[in-house]
Structures are given as structure tokens and as C-alpha cells.
Structure 1
Amino acid sequence: MTTTSTRPAVFFDRDGVLNHDAGYLFEASKFKWIDGAREAVRLVNEAGYFAFVVTNQSGVARGFYEESDVQALHRWMAEELAAVGAHIDAFEYCPDHPEAVVERYRRDSDRRKPGPGMITDLMKRFPVAADGSLLIGDQERDLEAARAAGIRGLLFRNGNLATFVCEALKLA
């Protein structure tokens, strides 16, 4: 019998945590990193944690942009992070919304926060140790998703994300 070693993860909400929430953001030209965000991801990487992004993207369901736009922005973010020696292990997003104007996205989904689906899907795909894992979000629905997935949720409102992560992971 072989065992896969597990390790904890930090699940980052995107808008309002990694970047300033500009409302239905999909263009790199309008993307503004939160102070310390890239460094926070690098700290998570260096501490041996998985780093994931879990983000509701109802702008797709509302017809404001396409899934390919979300994917392109995430590729751009990955390049920006690589430039400072950081990486995200996986980007997860949920394009669904129960009141979508784009019919194929009109549904209730447990992947849409406050549902835990994006988190639990990642925990199935990667050897994540739930104990010691946490989600950093800026909305109550983020914390609800964390609780439903059985991990700790922390509310980030403003400030320097690297400082917040140091305190959260007790790296200081």
C-alpha cells in the first residue's frame, strides 16, 4: 500500500483579495493587484502549501464576458506571479448563476460560493490536508464555503496581503 503525502492549502478568493474588486473584471488592463498579493502567494509557495484561486465569475452567466476571457486573465495572472517567483497550483472558477441571462449557465451550482464545490473539487484532485488548510476571502459567502468544505476561513478586508498571510500561517 502506498500513501500520498498530503499538505495543506491556501485557497484565495480572487476579486477583493488578490486584486482590487473592479466589478466583473476580465481584462488584464483593468487588473490591479492588492498590496502584497504576489508576495503573499510566494510566501504560501515557500511555506510548502498548495496555492489555489477559487472565484465566482457570474459575469459569464450574465453575458458580460466569456469563459475564455476568465482563462486568459488567469494565464496573465500566472505570468505576473511567475515574474516574482510565485505560482498558483490551480485556478477554479464558477461561471454559473441561478438568474443567468446565458441559458447554459442558468443553474444552481454547489461550485458557486457559498457552496463548497470548487474547494472540495480541488481537494479531490490534489493531496490536500484539510487540517491546516484555509481560505482567504473578502465576503461572508467565502467563509461559508470554507466552513462547508471543512476548512478554516479568514476574512480579508484591506491592507497588505503578505502581512495578512504571514500572520495567518504564523510565518512571522
Structure 2
Amino acid sequence: MNKTPAIFLDRDGVINEDGNYVATADDFHFIKGSIEAMQQLKKLGWRLVVVTNQSGIARGLYSEDQFLHLTEWMDWSLADRGVDLEGIYYCPHHPDYGQGEYHQDCDCRKPKPGMFLQASEELNIDLTQSWMIGDKASDLEAAKNAGVEQRILVRSGKPLTQDGEQLATYILDDLAAAAQLIAKQS
């Protein structure tokens, strides 16, 4: 079976407003235009995969079950609007904080490429033809480490850093602008 490309999306700051450890549907607010952008990308035939660090789990700010419940709510909210995600990958670990199994230096926490490599293997994704849309350097570094050549840094989340700007192929305002660029290049 031939591998196909995908668009990898960070969650907080790209899909939803980054409210510092968003853990409930009440705290989850889609960024204006993000749903429509994902709808546009799906209409173009793109596979969408979420890759998100969730150190709030390791820090004890919310449980893994709470995260999974919110993720299910987000997934259904998007599906109801015609956006079916191919996969949602998350890292609950942190190398400096956390209890038990969550306190570890893993290979899935961005900037390491573990989530991308797992998605590539499980979903048969061609990483070299894929895109990453993130709001910080670690998102883009993880994509680069996985072989994703097209990396968009958006201004809708964390403040831009020099490292992030250097890792970016493009710097755009938000997911809506990213979808427009990808549509022009498709």
C-alpha cells in the first residue's frame, strides 16, 4: 500500500486557544476560522493528524482520563462539522515533572519525533510529503526530526521565537492562513 501525505496539527494555539492546560470542554475554545480551515483541507483530500504535548497530565493538573474525555468531545465536535481526524497522538510525559510513569524522558514528547513516527507507521503516512502546523519551535523541530519538510509556524498561540522562525518554512497568522497556502500549493 502506498504511503500518503498528511497535515500534522498541534492542538493548543493552532486548533484551540491556548488557555494554559486546557482540560475541559468549558475551557476549550476553537480559534476563529480553525474549523473552516480544517474543513477546507479535508475537501482537498488531506488527512489530518493531531500531535500534542500534554504535560498537564504529568504535572497532575488534570488526569489522562480527563484529557481523553476532552479529546473525544473535540473529535466529535469536529466530526459533526465534517472534519474527521485520521488520528490524535499525545504525550502525557515530562522529563522534569510528574509522578510515576508520567515522569520520564520519552521519545514522544516534542521536539522528539515519536508521535510523528508512530502516526507514520500506523496510518501509512509519507512524512516527506507531509506538513506540520504548530505554534512553537518544539512543534517544528519534532516535524523536522521526523523528516517533515514543510513546516508552518502560526502566530495564534505562543509568542514567536528565533528558533521557531528558523525552523519554519512559512510563518503565518493562523490555521486559516495555513490552509489557504496549502490549498494554493495543492
Q: TM-score range by the shorter chain?
A: over 0.9
Q: Which residue of 1 aligns with 2:151?
A: 153
8 Å CA contact retained: 1:13, 1:55: yes
Distance 1:7 1:43 in 2: 18
- The higher-RCO structure (CA 8 Å, 6+ apart) is 1
CA RMSD of aligned residues (A): 1.5
Deviations 1:11-30 (Å, cap 9, x if unpaired)?
A: 00000000110001110001
Distance 2:106 2:72 in 1: 24
Q: Which amino acid aligns with 1:106?
A: H
Q: Which residue of 2 aligns with 1:54?
A: 51
Q: Which residue of 2 aligns with 1:165?
A: 179
Distance 2:98 2:78 in 1: 33
Match of 1:76 among 73, 78, 90: 73
TM-score, length-scaled by structure 1: 0.92
Paired-residue identity, %: 39
TM-score, length-scaled by structure 2: 0.85
8 Å CA contact retained: 1:9, 1:129: yes
Aligned length: 169
Match of 1:142 among 119, 129, 139: 139
Stretch deviating more after TM superposition (50-59 or 127-136): 127-136
8 Å CA contact retained: 1:57, 1:95: yes
Distance 1:6 1:124 in 2: 10
Q: Which residue of 1 aligns with 2:164?
A: none
Residue 122 in 1 paired to residue 136 in 2?
A: no
Deviations 1:60-118 (Å, cap 9, x if unpaired)?
A: 00011111111111111111112211111111100000122312211101100000100
Distance 1:98 1:137 in 2: 21
Structure 1 unaligned blocks of 5 or more? none
Deviations 1:132-165 (Å, cap 9, x if unpaired)?
A: 2011000011110010000022101134522321
Distance 2:180 2:4 in 1: 18
> SS of 1:163's equivalent?
helix
Q: Which runs of 4+ in 1 moved over 3 A?
A: none
> SS of 1:69's equivalent?
helix
Q: Which residue of 1 aligns with 2:16?
A: 19
